């Protein structure tokens, strides 16, 4: 669950990147966040992951009050979020299996859990046969599918995808969103920032549009793919 109450974010240079946003996202929702460059999308994501704190207002994510959270608790809070980036951020000297297993190892998951969970998520993203490949041997679409498997491996409450289709073949963008939709059906809340209007029109759902740090549109839109 996410709650924003009268959130303002002013950077030290005086730029008001977020101007009074109040919004709620319930568990299990899939939300597209759209808006032109400079609209405040990255700033909003940074507020949700507590990379930055708001100048005023309140931000609640996954049961944490981010205005009051203690620094030592931030790493635990972040474990409740799976992140997907436009530049994939895989570890180049680990193979696909170990890239996914890594997040489970650093959070001290048991060997049994890792042996069970890693093949499960690689199968979900249809990369079970590439488990031993290194990132450099993968296409952009495959790298992003590994990143999705990694984000989902620890079964987080929330997945945040920051322009996940920006660096992959446009024809494969749909597969990436379909995977995120599948993960969403397992109960994980998904927030996806995108520039690609064609994707948003195709999939539909809840669309939040930002402009100059404000929400100018927040509605459910029927997509062309509704009957799929």
Q: Give 43 or 144: the residue with its C-beta nearer to ligand ADP.
A: 43
Q: How far is the CB of 101 from ligand ADP (least distance, A)?
A: 32
Q: How far is the CB of 71 from ligand ADP (least distance, A)?
A: 20
Residues 6+ apart with CB under 8 A from 222: 204
Give strand pairing partners of 42. Answer: none
Q: Give 205 or 213: the residue with its C-beta nearer to ligand ADP.
A: 213
Does position 205 bind ligand ADP by CB under 6 A? Answer: no
Local structure of 125: helix, strand or coil: coil
Kindly report the three-state secondary structure assignment for every residue of 8-54: EEECCCCCEEEEEEEEEECCCCEEEEECCCCCCHHHHHHHHCCCCCC
Q: How far is the CB of 86 from ligand ADP (least distance, A)?
A: 11
Does position 59 bind ligand ADP by CB under 6 A? Answer: no
Q: Site for ligand ADP (CB under 6 A): which residue of 2, 21, 41, 200? A: 41
Does position 35 bind ligand ADP by CB under 6 A? Answer: yes
Please give the Cα distance from 161 to 168 (Å, whole number): 14
Q: Would you say 66 and 60 are in contact if contact means Cβ atoms under 8 Å apart?
A: yes
Q: How far is the CB of 61 from ligand ADP (least distance, A)?
A: 17
Task: Give the phi and the psi of residue 2 in degrees, each rounded to 5.
Answer: -125, 135
Give strand pairing partners of 220. Answer: 206
Tell me, residue by residue from 5 to 24, as one string, x for binding to ligand ADP by CB under 6 A and - for no binding: ------x-x-x-x-------
Does position 37 bind ligand ADP by CB under 6 A? Answer: yes
Does position 33 bind ligand ADP by CB under 6 A? Answer: no
To which H or E segment does residue 177 belong?
Answer: helix 170-185
Does position 38 bind ligand ADP by CB under 6 A? Answer: yes
Q: How far is the CB of 216 from ligand ADP (least distance, A)?
A: 13
Does position 43 bind ligand ADP by CB under 6 A? Answer: yes
Does position 197 bind ligand ADP by CB under 6 A? Answer: no
Nearest of 195, 134, 139, 201 to residue 172 by alpha carbon: 139
Footprint of ligand ADP (CB under 6 A): 11, 13, 15, 17, 35, 37-43
């Amino acid at each position: 669950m996410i709650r924003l109450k009268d959130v303002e974010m002013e950077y030290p240079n005086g730029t008001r990147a977020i101007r009074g946003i109040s919004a709620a996202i319930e568990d299990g929702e899939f939300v597209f966040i759209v808006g032109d460059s400079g609209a405040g999308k990255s700033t909003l994501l940074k507020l949700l992951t507590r990379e930055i704190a708001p100048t005023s207002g309140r931000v609640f994510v996954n049961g944490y009050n981010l205005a009051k959270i203690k620094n030592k608790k931030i790493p635990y809070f972040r474990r409740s979020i799976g992140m997907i980036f436009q530049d994939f951020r895989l570890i180049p000297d680990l193979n696909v299996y170990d890239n996914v297993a890594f997040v489970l190892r650093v959070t001290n998951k048991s060997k049994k859990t890792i042996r069970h969970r890693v093949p499960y998520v690689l199968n979900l993203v249809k990369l079970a046969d590439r488990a031993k490949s290194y990132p450099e041997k993968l296409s952009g679409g495959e790298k992003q599918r590994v990143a999705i498997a990694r984000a989902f491996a620890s079964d987080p409450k929330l997945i945040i995808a920051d322009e996940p289709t920006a660096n992959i073949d446009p024809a494969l963008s749909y597969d990436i969103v379909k995977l995120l939709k599948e993960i969403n059906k397992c109960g994980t809340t998904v927030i996806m920032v995108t520039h690609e209007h064609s994707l948003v029109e195709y999939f539909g759902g809840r669309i939040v549009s930002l402009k100059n740090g404000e929400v100018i549109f927040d509605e459910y839109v029927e997509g062309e793919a509704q009957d799929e």
